[in-house]
Homo-oligomer: A and B are copies of this chain.
Amino acid sequence: MIGDGEAETGPLATAWHSNKFLDPVGDGAVLPILHLNGYKIANPTVLARIGDEELDALLRGYGYQPYLVEGDDSAAVHQQLAATLDEVFDTIAGLQHGARDGGDTGRPRWPMIVFRTPKGWTGPKEVDGRPVEGTWRAHQVPLPAARNDAAHLAQLEAWMRSYHPEELFTPEGAPLPEVVDWLPAGELRMGANPHANGGRLTRDLELPDFTEYGVKVSAAGETVSEPTRVLGTWLRDVIKANAANRNFRLVGPDETESNRLGAVLEVTDKVWRGRIDEVDVHLGPSGRVMEILSEHTCQGWLEGYLLTGRHGLFSCYEAFTHIVDSMVNQHAKWLKVSRGLRWRMPIPSLNYLLTSHVWQQDHNGFSHQDPGFIDHVVNKKADVIRVYLPPDTNTLLSVADHCLRSRHYINVIVAGKQPQPTWLDVDAAALHCARGLGIWDWASNDDGDPEVVLAAAGDVPTREVLAATDLLRQHLPDLRVRVVNIVDLMRLQPASEHPHGLPDAEFDAIFTTDRPIIFAYHGYPTLIHRLTYRRHGHEHLHVRGYKEEGTTTTPFDMLVLNDMDRYHLVMDVIDRVPGLARRAATLRQHMADKRVQHREYIRCTGEDLPEVRDWRWPAS
């Protein structure tokens, strides 16, 4: 039932077009009932005032066969609605039969009902001389002064008595047997229907062993791979392994291939019930991939799917995930509240893969740069949100495996699609992800007593921190550097704030309480301060990240524009480690020069400096 407000999930929304993505063979059916009662809080609704002809055209244009049920005589409308429901249920069954047994692969014209009754129906007709039933005034408390005004109170009593309570209740106030006798029992009760308590129906996904999909790494950074492309091969086999159970879907706004998850299309189609032309590939009348260029609709589809106990992943351009901020809020609130209800079983997590992210903008530019979805999610209750920034392909596999096994969370995974070094072999990746963060001893030379900690969260920041470490090793070989990598962002919060929070003693041991920490972070730097402000070492923490500087430019230039490039990180180290400022003044100057050279070079060639593009972590 769709109310006739016009909010994003309402009758004016894109979601009407979902019928082009519904498979009558494998999926159920949806019967939209547009309750056109004419008014919102203070205004008529748009669809109530466009006339029957335009409304009919609109609903047919959405691909539906509209049925009108209309009236203000309760008994007649009830009969009319019942008869119409009988008819449309038969229609739906016929369409499903045609697709399932008759081989129809086209798009059915599904029925829908326009249900037009007065707003505030059976409520007070008039209050204080102004019409209420059938107007927007019925949206609010119709008799606001019943407490103090005798006339209002009398009208309230007359209104309540109009329902003949004496025919419905015992003198003690219990419903009479004939009122409740006919109610369905057990799971046929609406509230006890297992489909409305999806966790009861959830079956675990069959998950192929992700370690078998890992990239071989004999030395850190030696192998280059595209994280999401490799993830795609694992997701392909997730889809295959669960095909019979039909309980996994991948949704996204036209980006499965752009986000390099295309391997999934080797085993399934993008579901499409519109016309299919000869030129099309990977479209089919059924399929586990759902793509529509409306993030709202993707989110709505996936939420509904999860709520019925099944599993899914939403892959999205990072910047545009903000489009669903408000919907995410409501899902997070639902998770929080339902977690406290004993009869509600946990449902599969809402998993986001944010890719095509802020740090790679060769083609898109400033409009595509916003890593703030993480900030938005982190405002929600700690017990329902998780954020992961896998630094490479193998850690991405481990994180994805973990998220698809989890329940009742909102998991945000941020990972790039561009070729990048793989730092950890798959076993080390699994351990690193289980830990959530850790010292990368193979990149550190601190001997347990660092002079500076270089920390990174995110794939691009990790590479820059390692490149900066390499520069420091070359130019200041005696400087004791500790490299720390963070996959699970919530490890940074105190244990009192988030269940994943690292105990203070462990945090202090890793980050130190008195040495400068230069932290390269994928998103807005303030988030790291926000997560760590209670940590002992916080005053020594210096964070680099995205600060709303960007355009369509080279990958390294994005870093330079935001002062998170390897050269700037080295300068930050020099500025903050006591005693280095004077000793390493020449190196600092050299680093600043590099940034100037970089700008000149990209202006002339459109490409990053060869020493940047070709940089590799030195073999030990």
Could you tell me the distance in whole angstroms from the C-beta of A316 to the nearest C-beta in chain B?
A: 11
A residues 300-336 near B (Cβ < 8 Å) are 319-320, 322-323, 325-326, 329-330, 333, 336
Contact B58 A62 (CB under 8 A): yes
State whether the Cβ of A432 lies closer than 8 Å to any Cβ in chain B: no
A256 interface residue per 8 A CB criterion: yes
A526: interface (CB < 8 Å): yes
Query: Does chain B have a CB within 8 A of A295?
Result: yes
State which residues 237-274 of A face B: CB under 8 Å.
253-258, 270, 272, 274
Task: Give every chain B residue within 8 A of A127 (Cβ-Cβ).
Answer: none
Give chain B nearest CB distance to A107 CB in angstroms. 8
**With A270-B43, A274-B50, A376-B376 given, is the CB distance from A326 to B325 under 8 Å?**
yes
Partner of A379, one of B253, B277, B336, B375: B375
Given known contacts A59-B61, A254-B40, is B366 in contact with A524 (CB within 8 Å)? no
Residues A61 and B63 in contact in the complex (CB < 8 Å), given A14-B12, A322-B325, A376-B375: no
Q: Report yes or no: B49 in contact with A274, Cβ–Cβ below 8 A.
A: yes
Q: A91 near B: Cβ within 8 Å?
A: no
Q: Is the CB of A320 within 8 A of B326?
A: yes
Please tell me the number of chain A residues within 8 Å of chain B, measured between CB atoms.
81
Q: Mark A503-542, 1 if CB is under 8 A from B, else 0.
A: 0000000000000000000001010011001000010000
- A275 at interface, CB cutoff 8 A: yes
A296 at the interface (CB under 8 A from B): yes
Closest partner residue, chain B, to A17 (CB atom):
B46
**Do the beta carbons of A258 and B6 come within 8 Å of each other?**
no
Instruction: Let me know if A123 is at the binding interface, CB within 8 A.
Output: no
> Of B135, B255, B326, B379, which is within 8 A of A41 by CB?
B255
User: Which of A58, A270, A277 has the most chain B CB within a 10 Å cutoff?
Assistant: A58
B333 touches A42 (CB 8 A): no
Q: Which residue of B lies closest to A531 (CB)?
A: B526
* Nearest opposing residue in chain B for A381, CB measure: B548
- In the assembled complex, 8 residue pairs joining A and B whose CB atoms fall closer than 8 Å, in A order, are A6-B293, A7-B295, A12-B14, A42-B257, A44-B277, A322-B325, A330-B367, A379-B526
